[in-house]
Each structure stands twice: as structure tokens, then as C-alpha cells.
Amino acid sequence: MKFWKQSLLALVVIGQVNLVNAAPTELDKITVIVNGGVILESDVDTSIKSLKANANQSGQALPSQEVLRQQVTEKLIIDTLQQQEAERIGVRIDDNRLNQTIEEIAHNNNQTVEQLTASLAEQGLTYSEFREQIRKEIAASEARNALVRRRINILPAEVDNLASILAKETNATVQYKIGHIQLRLNDGDEPQEIKAKAQEIVNKLNAGSDFSTMAYTYSKGPKALQGGDWGWMRKEEMPTIFADQINLENKGSIIGPFRSGVGFHILKVEDVKGLETVAVTEINARHILIRSTVILSDEGVQKELNEITRRIRAGEATFGEMAKQYSQDPGSAAQNGELGYQTSEIYVPEFKHQVDTLAVGKISKPFKTVHGWHIVEVLDRRQVDRTDSALKNKAYRILFNRKFNEETSAWLQELRASAFIEVVKDSENDG
């Protein structure tokens, strides 16, 4: 009995010692509630850590920790809303697509995937965390593209009118590298105060302040965390509010402030270059689209498309007959599934990959996009210069890009305005 008591006492003592020596585990805190999801403190910290690492690598100055945290939190809110939309419409990014994207990221950084993994570790990021973040970003992008496309309506007359204007231009076109700062005008704000603040920023820029740092600090525009950098664009590809302000500006020009419906804007022409128009490849393809339902699973759709492909190859039916009977894309189904001559850039990434890589006359295996499951056949490819057809395609792309940028901004604002968003206060920090 004495031995039993000593053993029990030893267990109790050991348990107490372990409790004393165990490091307290701090639970991850919720920073923002976004509809049914949350943004954690670790999400904000990881994003700030990654942003600082990139800034250090590029020698970019950043604003204060408080301002940086506000900007990062706002971006995470927008990202979370888009990821929730991706989940709502059923966007799924498989591992093959994810691996290809990560390989491209590594290649663009002149790294192998192993070197990229090592550099992530130096920043305090694990490869698995990085993979899932990239997966979420791709899914959000796919959802945004699919949902914004539905809002875009381009009339034939718009294409014809712009094609006529393009026909009068020379082969040499101008590209601008644009920087952008947007000051948001919220309900209750005094416009003159916001305009005065924008003018103060312009004065600082003219006095030599760094544009990227000012954008990080003050901008509420979609490219704020890229230092306001919109990259290279032709005037016809810019949002209308940009294009209306730019008229053969010189490198380094500061434009603004000028007002739009969302607030005041400042532009900087970072650089200018001419671009010679070259021939483009147009692809004539046809497809059959079938969407999965509660009754018909993804596996069932693939089986059905495989059977359709078998019948076409066996000569039991033509592709056009199958498209008219089964395709759930009414516009192309009425044309035997044909999409007409188009450049592949107008298609979503998975569809673009298929029409770019398929041999003429070959039917693809079933593949999935945000629109559903497809099989596609490439009928022909052709090289075109500045023919009427090429000009109309170019005009369509210009109109699409312009409206897409405008509608994306509007869609994001509507998405945020209709969401339940609550910033969770930290009582320790507040005190």
C-alpha cells in the first residue's frame, strides 16, 4: 500500500511539473468576421510578413505599421468575399492546375520549386500554406471572371464603331505604364476636403515623393497593395476614367486630381513605349457544355460526354448534332457548337489551354471550367493581320477589357456593401 501511495504521488508531481513547464499556447484571434467566415490575426500577420519581405527584396519603402495593417486587412476582406463567391458557385482548383501555377511563379522568379520553397521558409511561410493561398487566389480569380463576365454586354454596333476608329490608326500604338491613387468618397464626406487631400498628395509627388509609397499609404484603389501599379496598358485597354485623362503624356507626368463616382484619382505615367502591331492567331472551335446538378454528378457528366465523344468518333452522329441535342450553351448549340474565329484570350483559362494545345480535328477529354463540363474540338487556326476581321476582334477585346475593369470595380464594391463585416476589437490592444 505504501508503494502505491508513493507511485500516485509521483504521478501527481510529474503532472504538476509538466503543467508548470508547458509553454502556454496562444489561440489564434479572430480579427474580422466576413459573412460566415473569419479573418484571423495570423492571416493578417502572414500577409504583412510576406509584403514586407517583398518590399525589402525590391527596396520599396512602406508606410507605418498601422496604415499597412489597415490596407492588408481591407485586401483580406475583399479576398475573403471573392473566395466565398468561389465556394458558392462551386469553383474547384485541382492539384495539377495548382502545381502548374506554382511552377510558373517559380519560373518567373528564376527559381526552381525547391528554391521557391526555401525562400518561403526564410520569410516564415510554409510551402503548404503558400499552396493553399495560391489555390484560394486562383479560385477567387475564376469566380470573379465568371461572375463579372455575366454583367458585360457588348453590342455589335459598339464593335463596328471602335473597329472603324482603329482602322484609321497607324500600326504603331502607344503603351503607358500607369500608377494610380484613389481617394474614396464615402457617404457623408465633404468632397472639397477629399479633393484638398488629393491635391496635397499631388503637391508632394511633384516635390519628389515616391509614388508607390504614397499609393500604399493613401490609396483605396484596387492596386493599392501593388503600389498603385496597373502595369502596361494601351489607352484603349484602360478604364474609361484613365483613358479620358491621358493624351500622349510624357514619362513622369502627374495627372489629377480628377473626380469619378467613387472619389478622386491621381495618375502617374511611369513610362511610355510604342508597340508595333503584329499578326495574331484566331481559332475556330466548337464545344459541348453540360453542367452537373444535384441529380447528375460530375462523374455522371464526364461519363455522358465520353459517350457523346464515342458516338461522334464511331460515326453514329456528328458533333453538330450532339451539340444541338445536348449542349447547354444555347448560343453555340444553335450553330452546331461552333464559337467562330476568336483569339484564345477571350476564354477562361482551362478552355484557353485546350484550344491553344489541341491539334486540329481532335476532340478533347472532358474538362471543367466555371461554366460546367466541356468537350471541345479545334476546327481551324489562322494567322491574321489588320484585316476587318482582326480589327473587329481587337475592338471586341478592347471593349471587353475596358468594361471588365469597370464592372469588376463595381462588382467588388457591391459585394462588400452587401456583406456582413465586423471588425473584432482586441480589448488588450484597445486598453
Full pLDDT tens readout for the chain, 431 residues: 333 333 333 323 323 333 333 334 356 788 889 998 898 888 888 788 778 877 777 778 888 888 998 999 999 999 899 989 998 988 888 888 899 999 998 888 888 989 888 888 887 778 888 888 888 889 988 899 989 988 998 998 998 888 777 766 643 467 889 999 999 888 778 889 999 999 999 999 999 899 999 999 999 998 999 999 999 988 888 888 898 888 656 778 899 999 998 899 999 999 888 644 456 788 999 999 999 998 999 999 999 999 999 999 999 999 999 999 999 999 899 999 999 998 898 899 899 999 999 999 999 999 999 899 999 999 999 876 444 566 777 788 899 999 999 999 999 999 999 989 998 876 444 44
Distance between CA atoms of residues 19 and 23, nearest Å: 9
C-alpha cell at 265: 484619382
Q: What are the extents of the domains in the chain?
A: 30-149, 172-276, 280-384
Task: Identify whether the C-beta of residue 366 lies closer than 8 Å to the C-beta of residue 202.
Answer: no
The predicted pLDDT at position 223 comes to 92
The predicted pLDDT at position 53 comes to 74
Distance between CA atoms of residues 130 and 109, nearest Å: 15
The predicted pLDDT at position 248 comes to 57
Burial category of 347 from C-beta neighbours within 10 Å (exposed 0-12, middle 13-18, buried 19 and up): buried
DSSP state at residue 63: -
The predicted pLDDT at position 329 comes to 93
Task: Report H helices in 207-255.
Answer: 211-218, 240-243
> Residue 220 to residues 111, 207, 261: CA-CA distances in angstroms?
33, 22, 14
Please name which of 137, 217, 139 lies closest in space to residue 181, comparing C-alpha atoms. Answer: 217
Task: Identify whether the C-beta of residue 220 lies closer than 8 Å to the C-beta of residue 186.
Answer: no
Distance between CA atoms of residues 202 and 208, nearest Å: 10
The predicted pLDDT at position 172 comes to 42
The predicted pLDDT at position 2 comes to 37
Distance between CA atoms of residues 270 and 226, nearest Å: 14
* HSE, side-chain direction, 13 A CA sphere, residue 285: 29
Distance between CA atoms of residues 90 and 92, nearest Å: 6
> For 30-149, which CATH superfamily applies?
Porin chaperone SurA, peptide-binding domain (1.10.4030.10)
Same topology between domain 172-276 and domain 280-384: yes
**What CATH topology corresponds to 280-384?**
Chitinase A; domain 3 (3.10.50)
CATH placement of domain 172-276? 3.10.50.40
Distance between CA atoms of residues 266 and 259, nearest Å: 9
Whether pTM exceeds 0.75: no
Distance between CA atoms of residues 338 and 286, nearest Å: 4
- Cell numbers 466548337 correspond to 286
Neighbours of 78 (CB within 10 A): 17
Looking at this protein, which amino acid is placed at residue 226?
Answer: Q
Quick: pLDDT tens for 307-365: 999 999 999 999 999 999 999 999 899 999 999 998 898 899 899 999 999 999 999 99
Looking at this protein, which amino acid is placed at residue 120?
Answer: L
Task: Identify whether the C-beta of residue 46 lies closer than 8 Å to the C-beta of residue 128.
Answer: no
